């Protein structure tokens, strides 16, 4: 066990009604008893009882706010951010990026540690990686009074919030990551796909505040997809995103690694773009170099970035149409360069353009959030917060 990762085992869990109130306060901010009752369909007596229980348990504070018009002062309930702290950790192929967050998802400290080098088969040694994660948690635990739980995020397929069925960048297959990390730290652990973590973070602290259904697309080292439907994040995608990633854009286009001519991935996947540019130039070239060349006016590089941006526009339109949501969140390291190209919005606008006798108009709310690895780790932390609060 990590000595400094003190497990506050004495803290009682929240009842489902207490959780509903806490969740409302975290997502929507301070609220009067009256507003809470209206939103959560609770009687005034129930709301008062719940408010008292949360204040007594240190989860919320309550203050009297004078009414501006005639009337009694109102009791305003506010979540106490420091009531819980959670470590979030995003694993890439070579690094564990960690943050410790309070209950509002505010990052209190960050840290990173190198993961062990992969073996000859390209697999990152599992037991040594668990030790690194536990040490990272221990380091972050020293920065806050106590840690209540851990959220871990990995690229690939995760089952039952614990098992890495397919760790895309780590070479892991069917390994239980939650149990050994919980044993090392003595803390509750939840493991999730990294884009699902981002979707769950957006559900509470981003797009979910205004949209109950939305999609998340990440563009960086690989294409990633997350789905929130009617306020619930889809935990495991049926296809790991293949159906959207390989949707056709232009049959005359370049081939993806699976051999599809002109699919979304062929245009948009970073490695595919680098391959296409490298073949044209006769030397290896990185995505950032292509962006730089495009910004400097190189026509071939601009074609590649425009093609990727256009494919992203088609992907957004297809995703929004299939989900029947007006909101798609674009995130990831490469998203800024692509949304800066007019080709993305042109593709979306063309897809939305109604026919001459059609009256229905629709606008899409496309939110672009370029992410650092710290932001990814924060997504994992928010999943950890939801886990320790008892969100199913």
* Binding region for Zn ion (CB under 5 A) out of 68-76, 166-174, 184-192, 258-266: 258-266
- Binds Zn ion by CB under 5 A, chosen from 86, 141, 164, 256: 256
Least distance CB 263 / Zn ion (angstroms): 3
* Closer residue to Zn ion (CB): 80 or 316: 316
Burial 262-271 (b: 16+ CB within 10 A, else e): bbbbbbbbbe
- Residues in CB range of 312: below 8 A, 6 or more apart: 217, 219, 268, 330, 338, 339, 344, 347
* Closer residue to Zn ion (CB): 253 or 384: 253
Least distance CB 267 / Zn ion (angstroms): 10
Residue 273 near Zn ion by CB under 5 A: no
Q: Which residue has the tokens 């439907």?
A: 229
Least distance CB 341 / Zn ion (angstroms): 21
Q: Which of residues 191-250 bind Zn ion (CB under 5 A)?
A: 246
How many residues appear in the chain? Answer: 392
Euclidean distance between CA atoms 95 and 372, whole angstroms: 13
* Binding region for Zn ion (CB under 5 A) out of 59-67, 73-81, 122-130, 265-273: 265-273
Residue 280 near Zn ion by CB under 5 A: no
Chain mean position to CA 246: 22
For residue 270, the surrounding DSSP H or E stretch is: helix 270-281
Burial of 278 (0-12, 13-18, 19+ CB in 10 A): middle
Residue 268 near Zn ion by CB under 5 A: no
Least distance CB 239 / Zn ion (angstroms): 13
Q: Are 346 and 303 in contact (CB under 8 A)?
A: no
Least distance CB 60 / Zn ion (angstroms): 49
* Binding region for Zn ion (CB under 5 A) out of 197-205, 227-235, 261-269, 327-335: 261-269
Q: Which positions touch Zn ion (CB under 5 A)?
A: 246, 256, 258, 260, 263, 265
């Amino acid at each position: 066990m990590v000595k400094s990762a003190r497990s506050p085992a004495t803290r009682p869990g929240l009842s489902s009604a207490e959780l509903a109130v806490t969740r409302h306060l975290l997502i929507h901010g301070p609220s009067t008893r009256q507003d809470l009752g209206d939103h959560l369909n609770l009687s005034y007596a129930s709301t008062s009882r719940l408010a008292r229980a949360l204040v007594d348990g240190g989860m919320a504070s309550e203050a009297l706010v004078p009414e501006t018009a005639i009337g009694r002062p109102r009791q305003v309930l506010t979540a106490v951010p420091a009531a819980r702290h959670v470590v979030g950790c995003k694993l890439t192929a070579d690094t564990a990026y960690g943050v410790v967050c309070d209950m509002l998802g505010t990052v209190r400290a960050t840290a990173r540690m190198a993961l062990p080098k992969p073996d000859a088969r390209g697999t990152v040694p599992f037991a040594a990686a668990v030790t690194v994660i536990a040490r990272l948690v221990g380091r972050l635990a020293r920065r806050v009074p106590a840690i209540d739980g851990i959220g871990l995020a990995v690229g690939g397929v995760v089952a039952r919030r614990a098992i890495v069925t397919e760790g895309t960048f780590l070479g892991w297959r069917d390994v239980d990551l939650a149990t050994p990390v919980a044993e090392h730290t003595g803390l509750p652990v939840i493991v999730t796909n990294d884009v699902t973590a981002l979707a769950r973070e957006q559900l509470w602290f981003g797009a979910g505040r205004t949209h109950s259904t939305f999609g998340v697309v990440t563009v960086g080292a690989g294409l990633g997809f997350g789905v929130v439907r009617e306020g619930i994040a889809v935990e495991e995608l049926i296809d790991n995103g293949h159906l959207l990633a390989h949707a056709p854009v232009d049959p005359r286009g370049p081939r993806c690694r699976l051999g599809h001519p002109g699919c979304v991935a062929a245009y948009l996947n970073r490695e595919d773009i680098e391959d296409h540019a490298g073949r044209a130039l006769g030397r290896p070239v990185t995505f950032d170099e292509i962006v730089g060349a495009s910004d400097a006016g190189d026509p071939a590089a601009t074609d590649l970035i425009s093609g990727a941006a256009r494919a992203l526009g088609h992907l957004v339109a297809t995703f929004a149409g299939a989900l029947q949501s007006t909101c798609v969140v674009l995130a990831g390291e490469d998203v800024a360069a692509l949304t800066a190209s007019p080709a993305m919005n042109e593709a979306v606008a063309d897809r939305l353009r109604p026919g001459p006798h059609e009256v229905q108009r629709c606008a899409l709310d496309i939110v672009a959030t370029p992410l650092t690895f710290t932001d990814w780790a924060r997504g994992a932390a928010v999943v950890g917060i939801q886990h320790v609060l008892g969100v199913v």
